[in-house]
């Protein structure tokens, strides 16, 4: 994905008005700092004036998201127990309060903007996940997952732990 497109997709997720610095690898102090893991939250269903194939597809995708996230989030709580360092679990809309409470990192992805649930994609979407340093405005790319696996928190935590070890 081109970096300019990437920035447009994830920019709303970052704390500052300034574009983050993107780096490969991991933060050196990850083992000593707290990280926020984001669970999925429900979205408001779209309202369409006309019922088209596309609008039906989008609505079905949104309803499916809202139905599956409760089970998915429970799996995050279980899978997170394998994470070797200190963490907290919260939602994309509430994690900033933890940032103010001393958490330095958040595992972030544009999947949490849910824009992909508001349109019919032309191809399979691959989401990049970052460990975002909220204090220094640095995003460390750690792995990628396609849209079919974004609710599989066991896989997400396995990928994160594999990068860490």
Helix extents (H) in the chain: 3-10, 53-80, 96-100, 153-164
Contact 161, 83 (CB under 8 A): yes
User: Rounded CA gap, 46 and 60, in Å?
Assistant: 10
Q: Which residue has the tokens 């972030």?
A: 108
pLDDT of residue 76: 97
User: Rounded CA gap, 24 and 18, in Å?
Assistant: 19
* Below-50 pLDDT ranges, the chain: 1-12
pTM of the predicted structure, to 2 decimals: 0.86
Mean pLDDT of the chain: 89
Q: Which residue has the tokens 């750690």?
A: 142
Phi, psi at 101, each rounded to 5° = -90, 10
Q: Which domain holds residue 66?
A: 3-164
pLDDT of residue 75: 96
Residue 80 gets the label, from left (phi > 0), alpha (psi -120 to 50) or beta, of alpha
Q: What number of residues does the chain have?
A: 165
Longest dimension (CA), the chain: 53
Number of domains in the chain: 1
Contact 132, 23 (CB under 8 A): no
pLDDT of residue 142: 95
């Amino acid at each position: 994905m081109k970096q300019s497109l990437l920035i447009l997709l994830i920019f709303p997720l970052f704390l500052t008005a300034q574009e983050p610095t993107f780096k490969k690898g991991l933060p050196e102090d990850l083992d000593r700092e707290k990280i926020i893991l984001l669970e999925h939250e429900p979205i408001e269903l779209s309202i369409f004036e006309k019922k088209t194939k596309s609008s039906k597809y989008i609505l079905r995708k949104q309803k499916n998201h809202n139905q599956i996230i409760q089970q998915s989030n429970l799996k995050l709580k279980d899978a997170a127990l394998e994470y070797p360092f200190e963490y907290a679990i919260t939602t994309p809309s509430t994690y900033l309060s933890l940032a103010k409470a001393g958490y330095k990192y958040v595992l972030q992805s544009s999947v949490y903007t849910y824009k992909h649930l508001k349109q019919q994609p032309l191809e399979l979407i691959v989401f990049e996940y970052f460990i975002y340093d909220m204090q220094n405005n640095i995003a460390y790319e750690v792995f990628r997952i396609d849209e079919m696996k974004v609710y599989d928190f066991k896989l997400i935590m396995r990928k994160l732990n594999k990068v860490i070890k």
